[in-house]
Amino acid sequence: MPNSELQRINSFLSAFARRQAARVVDLPGGFAVHDDAFAHSHANNQVVIDAAVAPEALVSIAEEALGHLPHRMVSVLDDEVGMACAERLTRAGYTHSTYLVMLHAGPAPAGGPAAEVDLDTIRVPLTRRWRGFLPDADDEVIRHLVDRREARRRGADVVHFLGARTEEGEVASWADLYLDPATGTAQIEDLITSEAHLGRGYADAVLTTALGLAIGNDCGTRFLIADATDWPRHWYERRGFSVIGHSHCFERS
C-alpha cells in the first residue's frame, strides 16, 4: 500500500540524513544535521522535520539550529506537516519547493549498461555541470557541492556511484544508488547527464543499471525524489515511476 511504502521511504530518508551527517542535534519534530567540511552545502547543513511540529515554532527552531550559517534550509518529509508550516515559513522569507516521492513498479526498463565509478572519475564532469547550474558560485562552493558526494557513503549500508561512458571512455551520465537490503529499500539520487551528451540514452543506461541492482538486492521499495515543477518527473513516469507522496523544502539566504 502507498501509505506503508511512504512511511518506509520517509524512515529511510531520515536515517540517511542522520548517518551521513558529521553532527546531529535533535530538535522538536526532527533534527539538524551539520558538516563543517561542506559548509556551503545546504543539504549537509539543514533542519529535517520528520514528525509533527507546531508551525508557529518552526521558524525559531530553524534559527536556533542554523543561526551560525548564512543560509536556512528546512526539509519537511510529511506532506501534511509541510503544508501546515508553509504559510509561516514563507511569511518569514523562505521560498517553498514541493518534491515528489516517486515509486518504481515492475521490471527495470530496457537500456544499456552502466558501471561503478568513483568520485574522482566524475569530478570533472560533475564540476562542469554544477558550474552550469550555478554560474555565479565561487570555486569553494562548487568544490563543496562536488566533494559532499563522498559523505554520502556513510548514509546507507550499500552506496554505489554509477556512471555510463561514451565510446571514448568519458562518463556521460551518473547517479547515486543507496541500498538498505534489511528493509528492502533503494533510492536513486542525483541522476545527472553532461550537457554535451543529453538525449543519447546515457541516463537510461544509468537508471536501468540502478534499478537492476536494486531488484537484484531484493529491494521492493525503489524510489527517487523529483522536483514537482520540472520536466524529469515525466521522464521518470515513462520509465515506471509513479507519484505516491510529497515532501517540502523551505530555503532562505
Q: How far apart are CA 151 and CA 84, in angstroms?
A: 32
Q: What is the rounded average pLDDT of the residues 174-189? A: 97
Say if residue 68's pLDDT is above 70: yes
Q: How confident is the model at residue 1 (pLDDT cuts 50, 70, 90)?
A: very low
Pairing of strands 115-116, 158-165: antiparallel
Instruction: Record the pTM.
Output: 0.95
Residue with cell 536515517: 15
Say if residue 112's pLDDT is above 80: no
Q: What is the rounded average pLDDT of the residues 163-182? A: 95
Query: Phi, psi (5° rounding) for residue 71?
Result: -125, 165
Taking only the tens place, the pLDDT of each residue in 34-47 is 999 999 999 999 99
Domains identified in the chain and CATH numbers: 2-101 (no CATH), 115-244 (3.40.630.30)
Q: How far apart are CA 72 and CA 35, in angstroms?
A: 14
Residue 108 is predicted with a pLDDT of 82
Which ranges in the chain belong to alpha helices (H)? 2-20, 55-66, 79-91, 119-133, 139-147, 202-216, 232-237
Q: How far apart are CA 160 and CA 115, in angstroms?
A: 9
Q: How many CB atoms lie within 10 A of CB 216?
A: 10
Mean pLDDT of the chain: 95
Q: What is the rounded average pLDDT of the residues 106-130? A: 89
Secondary structure string (H, E, C) spanning 160-199: EEEEEECCCCCEEEEEEEEEECCCCEEEEEEEEECHHHCC
Residue 109 is predicted with a pLDDT of 80
Taking only the tens place, the pLDDT of each residue in 198-235 is 889 999 999 999 999 999 999 999 999 999 999 999 99
Q: How far apart are CA 52 and CA 252, in angstroms?
A: 22
Tell me which residue of 101, 123, 146 sits closest to 8, measured CA to CA.
101
Residue 236 is predicted with a pLDDT of 96
Residue 2 is predicted with a pLDDT of 53
Taking only the tens place, the pLDDT of each residue in 90-102 is 999 999 999 999 9
